A and B are shown apart, each in its own frame.
Chain A
């Protein structure tokens, strides 16, 4: 039996249907993006008042960093629920009893968190760029478009989401409580976010080449994280709560 996209799809579709009817998930998917589109816009329009000041870059950098919080927090919160949540509901065992392979289960879970995150993050970024183009001072718009900010957003959004998902699933597979899993998985995204903060705020000046290089590095880290999560996914541990 080889890797089956039918089984992956079954898990993803089930997850998306479940998210749609889960008030907590719908709330998270609505409030977080709203927050992270309003706050950066405030930063940008606040910068209008000090457009000549040396704080311009900081304002722009901070507003871009807010955007990256969506792919950092949203998928880690969703994926932290993925295993421990099913175990709490008693739905994990019936799924593991089917012919599904661990890779299929994990990819199905990951895609269900990845796709909505990517859609929301890019839509929010599009709204932000549109608002900047239409209403922001030309100097600020130019600062946003001319630097590597847009490139960083486009490259790092899916990669950051990937990291958040694998951290979330890894924590979820070892946790016994959903809330603890969600808190730990958000904590797990902070190291990467700290590096991105240094880039966004221009503490580390980043060229387009360096941005692509860092993205490639993050892609490798994501792949290694996937392998690590797949290796630690053990049916016996998931069923009885420990390895024998």
Chain B
């Protein structure tokens, strides 16, 4: 039974974690912005991702997690019609993923690649004007102004992109991705290579987009980022390993547990903790014991009474909360083990 100590999951000042996924009606009346069924992409003999199926609702922030080389970026490029799938099917923003639908799909979505990819000799305004033209947008000035306002860059429109910091370039890239008001916004490692302050700024922007109901497909290997920003997450390691809300994944993968801290160890822990109602097992931890329980609310009072009865000095009894990182590491470790075997 895996027993992992509680981990802090939220940085000070960061947005609250969210769990309720809003499923809004899409432009075609459907509720799914992305429907992916048994999608596979191979490069010759190498499998980039295999038999991947999931759905993303309109207005949902969907986290796509996985180690380097898991196939995250290739999945985004495939759904963005840059790469052709080897097999399987998908519907992106209500349009079937087919080569002939490429321009129509690309007009409804936006992808912000890992590298901002700005024309460094051009100004912020000139970069955005170019992309407004590529999307054939009306009211170009108004659109650009709104996009720059969304990323708090109105006063930098005349700056040459080459003179901007990495964080600011990332914000310009996000403004570019918002220009066409996409039905689905793919963010590929949006905070990769950014310092903590710049990362926090990007997180703030994603939160504001989430509040505006923008459908976001976020690939990342920053687990705290996914846990804080996403309604649901999927873990990919060539194949899709798990999908659900972060708390669901924790419950699915880890049994519930209590962390008990005592001033000194029990003389006979098995006599005190063994056989208590709701307690399924226990193990010694550095500062006490970790108990596997069926229901923490039933087990905690029983444990407290038993410890008091045994004369133990209780420092704390708390429910263990596994982080998304625990879930992720558990799965990836399983994959590594399976490959060894």
Contacts and interface: CB of A to CB of B under 8 A. Distances in A.
Nearest to A101: B103
A235 B135 contact: no
Interface in B253-312: none
Nearest to B176: A94
B119 interface: yes
Interface stretch (A7-15, A172-180, A206-214): A7-15
Interface of A: 1, 4, 6-7, 9-11, 13-14, 17-18, 21-22, 89-101, 235-236, 239-240, 244
Contacts of A98: 106-107, 131, 134-135
B110 A18 contact: no
The majority secondary structure among interface residues of chain A is: helix
A91 B83 contact: no
B63 interface: no
Interface residues of B, number: 35
Given A7-B134, A9-B133, A17-B126, A97 B110 contact: yes
A17 B81 CA distance: 29
Contacts of A235: 81-83
Contacts of B104: 1, 99
A22 B134 contact: no
Interface string B79-118: 0111110000000000000000001101100110101111
Contacts of B115: 90
B121 A236 contact: no
Contacts of B118: 91
A117 B233 CA distance: 53
B136 interface: yes
Given A1-B104, A99-B135, A239 B126 contact: no
A21 B123 CA distance: 11
6 contacts: A10-B133, A11-B134, A14-B126, A97-B80, A97-B82, A239-B83
A98 B180 CA distance: 10
Contact of A99 (B44, B103, B121): B103
Contact of B77 (A7, A21, A94, A239): A239
A94 B121 contact: no
A14 B130 contact: yes
A94 B126 contact: no
B222 interface: no
A168 to B, nearest CB: 19
B120 interface: yes
Residue of B42, B106, B117, B133 with most chain A CB atoms under a 10 A cut-off:
B133
